[in-house]
């Protein structure tokens, strides 16, 4: 997952400040996610979970309220069918958002977990990882469709 994030930053880094910041958020989110399974139960886990959930919500919010909007606006300027392609991808992101929000809600009361709660948490964390990987893949497709496709056209106009 971290390697794919690096590839995305190499591919689209420097193209747009909003995308750059968003990809940086993605990398921070992944780094924090990777460290969660090795965190000790108790206050270290609670603190790391708070940090992770904060990064998760910030990342999701940036996508929905800044990045997707910017990409769609850019696609509208070129009127080449890319927006229609993107509109087919956007609904596939919503289940990942719902799962992430549910995960965040679950973590709010995770102070003195039982063994069963730890097992459930481990399963949820694993599923969240799968959902995030799917989300990142869809988001990368959005960037490809709505931004990279127009780079040559924008450069020829300028």
Residue extents of the structural domains in the chain: 2-157
Contact 111, 42 (CB under 8 A): no
| Ramachandran bin of 79, using left for φ above 0, alpha for ψ from -120 to 50, beta for the remaining angles | left
For 115, the token pair is: 């063994």
- Band (pLDDT 50/70/90 cuts) for residue 14 is very low
Q: What is the CA radius of gyration of the chain?
A: 17
How far apart CA 120 and CA 115 sit, in angstroms, is: 9
Examine the pLDDT at 35 and tell me if it is beyond 60.
yes
CATH architecture of 2-157: Up-down Bundle (1.20)
Q: At what angle do helices 82-107 and 68-78 cross, to 10 degrees?
A: 180
pTM over 0.85: no
Examine the pLDDT at 6 and tell me if it is beyond 60.
no
């Amino acid at each position: 997952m971290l390697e794919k994030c690096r590839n995305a930053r190499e591919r689209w880094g420097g193209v747009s400040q909003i995308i750059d910041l968003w990809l940086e958020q993605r990398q921070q989110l992944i780094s924090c996610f990777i460290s969660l399974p090795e965190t000790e139960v108790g206050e270290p886990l609670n603190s790391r979970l708070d940090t992770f959930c904060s990064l998760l919500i910030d990342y999701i919010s940036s996508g929905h309220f800044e990045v997707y909007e910017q990409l769609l606006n850019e696609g509208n300027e070129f009127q080449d069918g890319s927006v229609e392609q993107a509109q087919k991808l956007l609904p596939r992101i919503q289940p990942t958002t719902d799962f992430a929000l549910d995960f965040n809600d679950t973590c709010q009361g995770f102070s003195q977990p039982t063994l069963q709660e730890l097992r459930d948490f481990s399963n949820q964390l694993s599923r969240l990882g799968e959902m995030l990987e799917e989300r990142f893949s869809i988001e990368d497709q959005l960037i490809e469709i709505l931004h990279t496709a127009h780079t040559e056209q924008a450069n020829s106009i300028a």
